Amino acid sequence: MFITNDIKYIGVNDHQTDLFEGQYVIPNGIAYNSYVILDEKIAVMDSVDGGFGEEWLGKLEAELAGRKPDYLIVQHMEPDHSANINVFLQRYPDAVVVASNLAFLMMKNSFGTDYNHRRIVVGDGDTLSLGKHTLHFVTAPMVHWPEVIMTYDSYDKVLFSADGFGKFGALDVEEPWEDEARRYYIGIVGKFGVQVQNVLKKAAGLDISMICPLHGPVLTENLGHYINLYDIWSSYRAEDEGIVIAYTSVYGNTKTAVELLAQKLREKGAPAVVVHDLARCDMAEAVADAFRYSKLVLATTTYAGDIFPFMKEFIHHLTDHNFQNRTVGIIENGTWAPQAVRIMGDMLKNSKNLQFTETNVRILAALNDDSRAQIDALAEELCK
């Protein structure tokens, strides 16, 4: 695949894996991206997942047209990008590995060697000349592993962004970038907003015409749109005005309350109302929506002196990914001793800049006139 005159795509599509990193549903698969820069010296940018080594090497050999690669640039040591390092180096015994110092320590753990006899250690600001192309290395620790580097090619003005700006979905499937990129970012990188902000500041000083991530499509147009979304996500600002209602319901009464609230919100002109049944939905999508929209309602039952397990898991995902800067309302249901308001409030107490609604809805088993009035008041407050 053509990227520029000198940069070719040699990645692969994976439609075999059902759960990325063992937890994220990927119905449209995922791409493991790799690139080769053909110059006086040849550099290969990362490898691919272990199950696709021969396909990857075949694509590489086709682009090499009989030449041999000089360098393998390792930007990220997660196995879906590093699994074939040893295979590559056995195939090309004269090639040199280029990576951060911490990446070489990880190679020692993964492969039993740190390639001390055939390596170049790079850090922030280091460069590597291929001829016309000069590679500038940018450290990106915790985006989303500590060893990560990104690479800027000043000749073609291409940023090889490691896992940054990636998304779920194989490249042979067309779908909107934002939804799967948001779910990918929040789930995998979202905890490390400060570190992403630091990398964005470095990137602001580069003249970038193209972004080549390790997952998802190469970004060639309207780069400001993608960079702006990363700025929003990594600073934990709301991307859109709207209300997410995340709920669990044992016998249907909490669900009935949620449906009533959603109806009232729409009647009052809420810009967006998104409802997630946490026992049945894609949890990662529900979490991503909580970060996307400006307001969140949590509705659940008291359960065994605690809250329903799916709600507990959801809130753990929120707090683990630094949920903040939102308005939160709560609906609790408990037949004899409702505890959800207190428990969920305690779980969120360390989250920054959360504004809780004055109205909490309390349901004692089933809706009655009092709880219906509370739902109406909550809808009014959320739509102010």
Helix 283-292 vs helix 309-320: crossing angle, to nearest 10: 50
Average pLDDT for the chain: 96
Nearest Cα to Cα of residue 25 among 13, 37, 14, 17? 17
* Fold observed for domain 240-382: Rossmann fold (3.40.50)
**Nearest alpha-carbon partner for 294 in 279, 317, 274:** 274
Q: What is the pLDDT of residue 174?
A: 93
For 36-55, b/e burial (b = at least 16 CB within 10 A) is bbbbebbbbbbbbbeebbee
The ranges assigned to domains in the chain are 7-234, 240-382
Residue 329 corresponds to which amino acid?
A: G
What's the average model confidence in pLDDT over 354-379? 96
- pLDDT for 303 beyond 90: no
d(CA 348, CA 324): 9
Burial class (CB in 10 A: 0-12, 13-18, 19+), 110: middle
The length of the chain is 384
Question: Tokens 């308005």 map to which residue?
Answer: 327
Identify the pLDDT of residue 304: 86
The pLDDT, as a whole number, for residue 264 is 98
Could you give the 3-state DSSP secondary structure of residue 306? strand
For residue 174, what is the enclosing H or E element?
none
Beta bridge partners of 96: 71
Q: In the chain, what's the furthest Cα-to-Cα distance? A: 79
Tokens (6 digits) for 207:
């003249």
Residue with tokens 């998304």: 167
- Report the distance separating Cα 260 and Cα 374, nearest Å: 11
Report the CATH number of the 7-234 domain.
3.60.15.10
Confidence of residue 1 (pLDDT cuts 50, 70, 90): confident
First and final CA of the chain: distance in angstroms?
51
- In which residue are the tokens 């009464």 written? 253
Give residue 140's pLDDT band: very low, low, confident or very high (50, 70, 90). very high
Rounded CA gap, 57 and 40, in Å? 20
Q: Is the pLDDT of residue 336 over 90?
A: no
Same fold, 7-234 and 240-382: no
| pLDDT category of residue 374 using cuts at 50, 70 and 90 | very high
Alpha helices, DSSP H only, in 163-252?
177-184, 193-203, 223-234
Instruction: For residue 307, give Cα distances in angstroms to 260, 264, 271, 330.
Output: 21, 25, 30, 12
The pLDDT of residue 206 is above 90: yes
Q: Contact, 317 vs 287, CB < 8 A?
A: yes
Distance CA 107, CA 221 (A): 35
Burial label, 123 (beta-carbon count in 10 A; 0-12, 13-18, 19+): exposed
Contacts of 366 (CB under 8 A, 6+ apart): 253, 256
Q: How far apart are CA 145 and CA 52, in angstroms?
A: 23
Quickly state the pLDDT bin for 299 (edges 50, 70, 90). very high
Pinpoint the alpha helices (H) of 74-186. 79-82, 85-91, 101-111, 177-184
Contact criterion met (CB below 8 Å) for 198 and 150 = no
- Computed over its alpha carbons, how large is the radius of gyration of the chain? 24
Residue 196 in this model has a pLDDT that exceeds 90: yes
Quick: pLDDT tens for 230-285.
999 999 999 999 999 999 999 999 999 999 999 999 999 999 999 999 999 999 99
* Continuous segment of H or E residues that includes residue 380: helix 369-382
80-133 residue pLDDT tens: 999 999 999 999 999 999 999 999 999 999 999 999 999 999 999 999 999 999
pTM for this prediction: 0.94
